[in-house]
Amino acid sequence: MAGSGVDLLFGPMLIGVFFNTILYGTMVVQTYIYFQTYKRDAWWIKAFVLYLLLCETLNTGFDIGMMYEPLIVRYGTPEAVTVAPIMLSADPIMTVLISSPVQYFIAWRLKVMSNSFVLPAIIGFFATTSLIGGIATTISVTIINKYVDFHKFDGAVITWLASSAVADVIITASLVYSLVRQRTGFHATDNMINRLIRLTVQTGLITSVSATLDVTLFLAIKPPRVTVPDSILTSRSNYIWDFALSKLYSNSILSTLNARGGWKSSSSVRENILFGSQVVGEQSYKEVPTSNPHSEFTVELQATSSASSSTIKNSALSQDEPSTTRTIEPHEV
């Protein structure tokens, strides 16, 4: 099949599926770490993590089946290069069933942190629009299943990818902006906030850049059209990013959850952008509230020794949990 243009179609698809399966393994490890480390988390957060694991398992299975059909079952037949695999239609809906809940989750935490409904509402709007676009894309691929006709539902694909990218950019920018405003002038607190900003950029920009690159490649790069019997194949390089997109969302949120502890055992401060901070180690110190009117991130931290219990108080969590004080046993640290 060399020179027939088949490599321009299945090459990006196969690479994207490779990335998908590799990141699935990373997610399984992160899920294991989460359940081993945070056994006292709220039941609904645990259920959310299990939901992501279930969806990602299905997504990986669908993607593997998507490649198996044309390369094995239909190998050497005209349908292999003219008709899209049946399971290709599952990719958009599975991706948005993962990405949109992750965006809703972060929007809720932003509301808790900032006590504002504006940004969470905007993020929720674009996440919902992305969800609708993904469902529409799945329906379109199911009905219009020939590669040559895929341009007929470009609108649904653009709605899905562009809305998701916009939501991710807003999430990253708003988290960073919120943290910058919460600098207090205390050296230790500002250092912690700077670490939180770096963590936010490292995790948030992964999905932001990937989703933006996905829609940019889809819109800007006009793929070459290669004539083969009974069809015209188009190379879609955005498949490389598209099939791995859901795993980036899952790994990003799990990384954020796990960053509360277990990853940085050598650090005296274990920080997390959405859930507050923990202090471990041998030092004892306390930071008093600041008079800064924008200091909504006031945190009281206490630690006695590495072998004793640590106490954490976080004003962000206090808005949505009955108790603002949590005792962390030594085995959790």
Question: Which pair of tokens denotes residue 86?
Answer: 């049946």
Task: Give the helix/strand (H/E) hosting 67.
Answer: helix 43-68
- Report the alpha-carbon distance of residue 26 to residue 23 in Å, rounded: 5
Comparison of pLDDT for 186 and 51, the residue scoring more: 51
- Report the alpha-carbon distance of residue 217 to residue 333 in Å, rounded: 44
CB of 259 closer than 8 Å to CB of 271: yes
Inter-CA distances, 323 with 98, 169, 327, 331, Å: 30, 33, 11, 21
Angle between helix 245-258 and 187-220 (nearest 10) = 170
Give yes or no for residue 313 having a pLDDT over 70: no
CB of 277 closer than 8 Å to CB of 52: no
Q: Which among 195, 88, 212 has a CA at the least distance from the CA of 143? A: 88
What's residue 257's pLDDT?
86
pLDDT tens digits, one per residue of 161-194: 899 989 988 988 887 777 777 667 777 666 776 7
Give the global pTM: 0.74
Give yes or no for residue 228 having a pLDDT over 60: no
243 Cβ neighbours under 8 A, 6+ residues apart: 13, 16, 17, 19, 20, 63, 91
When pLDDT is averaged across residues 217-231 and rounded to a whole number, the result is 57
Give yes or no for residue 317 having a pLDDT over 90: no
Q: Which of 39-48, 130-139, 164-173 has the lowest mean pLDDT?
A: 164-173
pLDDT tens digits, one per residue of 268-307: 444 455 665 444 443 433 434 444 444 433 333 333 333 3
Q: Which of 22-36, 49-63, 136-150, 217-231 has the lowest mean pLDDT?
A: 217-231
- Report the alpha-carbon distance of residue 76 to residue 330 in Å, rounded: 61
Give yes or no for residue 139 having a pLDDT over 90: yes
Question: Which pair of tokens denotes residue 303?
Answer: 């630690």
When pLDDT is averaged across residues 307-323 and rounded to a whole number, the result is 38
